[in-house]
Amino acid sequence: MWSAGAGFSIEADATAAAREAAEQALAGAGGADAALVFTGPRHRPAVATLLSEVASVLGTSNIVGGLAHGVIASGRESEGGFGVSVMAVRGLDAAPFWVPELAGNEDALEHELHVRLGGEARAGDLVVLIPDPAALDPEAVLESVAMSCGPALVVGAGAGDPVNAAPLVWSGGEVGSGALAGLVLRGARARRVGVTQACRPVTPLLTVTRVSAPWILEIDGRPALDVYREAARAPLADDLSRAAAFVLAAVPRDPGAPLDPGGYLVRNIGGFAPDANAFAISEPLAKGDRIALVHREPETARDDLRAMLDGLGDTTPGLGLYFDCCARGAGFFGVPGLESAYLERAFGEAPVAGMFGSCELGPIGGRTELLTYTGVLALLDR
């Protein structure tokens, strides 16, 4: 029987933080074959010391993770500070891997995944990816994932550092920028996944009728910016720079339920061109493609998080990994610790750990996608 344990610390001293979080995780797991370790940005100067201490406490160098905007574990969360979260696993087949120069080297990722999955992915496999977002070509990485991982569940998040803007990721003894760290976990009885989004559709599906990439010029035969202003409504419609933070685009991915939670991608508005009555989004579109406009709002996000957790059932998992968007958290919900409290209420003392990332990776419409404003929860059952 495999086991897992989660640990959390907000100690300012890196060695003390590493020891506290790792000892908690070790006690819960009863040993460690591998671990996921995430740290807040204030520990960046002492990352090497912190990871060395975690490895010493756990008795393994199979440590994968990254510098994060914040961390979550054991019913607590910390954003922008000294937080450390550790998830230790024992008894699972755990295979770390490392792609040192990710940009333009996505075939190396495909090779690593193929090797770690033994050439044949299974539905119970969990693949965790922690890339440096500055080196991430989403289309190329997702293609490598699709070619290698098949039915395996793929989740993860982009590393981030809001203090120094210099992401770091690590796997084993390797630490660096421009890289991707990963961990394959095999041997769980089953796995479950939930995706929660922070947005509410305010239009039906609309058709792009004229586009000059990246600009959307017409929607349903009307000037695109007019459609956007109507969806934004006053007073946001008169302040486009502010509206862009709250009125976003949804790109459907699930043909059966394109505007249901978890059925679409959320994409930022990349800019406005008032003279051309156009706006841009960070997703390639062609004439005939469908989009919707959505409002990003905390009440919707809270309700959707609760519904996602309820939909995962009441079976206590062996472990949970939560990859959250850095644009959620206390600044968005207005209260600290909301998501970690919901996770703790749903799963009790089950070990759950994770990070606030620059972007998220998870399944939408049956395919691994790059996500934003999203929380991705992966559960492994004993």
Enter the pTM of the model.
0.96
More confident residue, 26 or 236: 26
Mean pLDDT (whole number) for 218-243: 96
- Residue 332's pLDDT band, with cuts at 50, 70 and 90, is very high
Nearest to 186 by CA among 114, 272, 117: 117
Residues 192 and 318 in one domain: yes
How many structural domains is the chain composed of? 2
Give yes or no: residues 187 and 332 share one domain: yes
Confidence (pLDDT) at 165: 74
Torsion of CA 121, 124, 125, 131, to 10 degrees: 120
Evaluated on CA atoms 167, 171, 172, 178, the torsion sign reads negative
The pLDDT of residue 244 is: 95
Q: Are strands 190-197 and 278-281 parallel, antiparallel or unpaired?
A: unpaired
Q: Report pLDDT digits (tens) over 262-300.
A: 899 999 999 999 999 999 998 999 999 999 999 999 999
Q: How far is residue 340's CA from residue 6's CA, in Å, rounded to a whole number?
A: 13
Q: Please tell me the distance from the alpha carbon of residue 358 to that of residue 346, in angstroms, as a whole number.
A: 25
* 259 and 124 within one domain: no
Q: Are residues 60 and 171 in the same domain?
A: yes
**pLDDT-based confidence at residue 261 (cuts at 50, 70, 90):** confident
Same domain, 307 and 358: yes
Residue 24, classed as helix, strand or coil, is helix
Mean pLDDT in the chain? Answer: 95
- Looking at 252, 279, 294, the residue that finishes a domain is 294
CA atoms within 13 A on the CB side of 39: 33
- Extract the tokens encoding 267: 């994409």
Exposed/middle/buried for residue 288 (C-beta within 10 Å: 0-12, 13-18, 19+)? exposed
Residue 367, SS3? strand
85-122 pLDDT, tens digit per residue, is 999 999 999 999 999 999 999 999 999 999 999 888 99
Q: For 174-198, what is each residue's pLDDT tens digit?
A: 999 999 999 999 999 999 999 999 9
> Are 145 and 191 within one domain?
yes
Cα separation, 250 vs 203, whole angstroms = 10
User: Do 64 and 129 belong together in one domain?
Assistant: yes
Answer yes or no: do 89 and 181 share one domain: yes
Domain termination site, one of 256, 271, 294: 294
The mean pLDDT value for 19-44 works out to: 98
Q: Which of 172, 182, 125 is nearest to 150 (CA)?
A: 125
Taking residues 56-76, report their average pLDDT: 97
The parent domain of residue 209 ranges over 200-294
Same domain, 191 and 324: yes
121 lies in the same domain as 265: no
Q: Count of alpha carbons within 13 Å of 199, Cβ hemisphere only?
A: 31
Residues 173, 35 within the same domain: yes
Average pLDDT of the segment spanning 329-352:
96
| pLDDT tens digits, 291-325 | 999 999 999 999 999 999 999 998 999 999 999 99
Of the residues 294, 321, 340, the one at which a domain ends: 294
70 and 170 assigned to the same domain: yes
